[in-house]
Homo-oligomer: A and B are copies of this chain.
Amino acid sequence: MKKDIKKYKLLNIKLTPQRIAILDYLERNKTHPSVSEIFKYVNRRFPSMSFATVYNTLNTLVQHGRIRELTMDNDKKRFDPNTLPHHHLTCIKCKRIIDVDLDYPLSLPENKSSGFKVLGNHIEFYGICSECSSLNKQQKKKLSEII
């Protein structure tokens, strides 16, 4: 209880069980989950929880700078509880997203920024994860199971 308050109170938003559950899930999770993944999890503990609450909570947390909204997955929003500057590596097949905790000092000269105030950057490495690399074998298995 105290923990929760200590951890979340600074946001100056009401501390509800649903919000605590959502933020707890995000913090114990390194997968950069989507809204439906978050909903699936917290809904197990709060069967009455609405999908709208997950959206509301996530939007509120983003607005308060408590979490970060990722863009790499064009199909749906993904969320990151770590708002410190860091980069990501995405699997182009399954859209798995992992952290890249390396420092890359990137400077963008003013004469190349067309009048923009440059605030930061984010590197998206992309590739194919090990599961998707070895999919040829698995594909056959799964296909044979399905068909």
Q: Which positions in A face B, CB cutoff 8 Å? A: 69, 71-74, 77, 89, 91-92, 98, 100-102, 104, 106, 108-109, 112-130, 133
Contacts and interface: CB of A to CB of B under 8 A. Distances in A.
A73 B119 CA distance: 17
Interface of A is mostly: mixed
13 contacts: A89-B114, A91-B116, A104-B106, A113-B127, A115-B133, A116-B130, A117-B127, A118-B127, A119-B127, A120-B127, A121-B123, A122-B126, A123-B123
Given A73-B71, A108-B89, A108-B100, A120 B125 contact: yes
Given A89-B116, A116-B127, A123-B124, 10 more contacts: A69-B74, A71-B72, A71-B74, A89-B114, A102-B109, A108-B125, A113-B127, A114-B129, A117-B127, A121-B124
> How many chain copies does the complex carry?
2
Contacts of A91: 116
**In this complex, which of A102, A104, A112, A116 has the most chain B Cβ atoms within 10 angstroms of its Cβ?**
A116
Contact of A128 (B74, B100, B116): B116
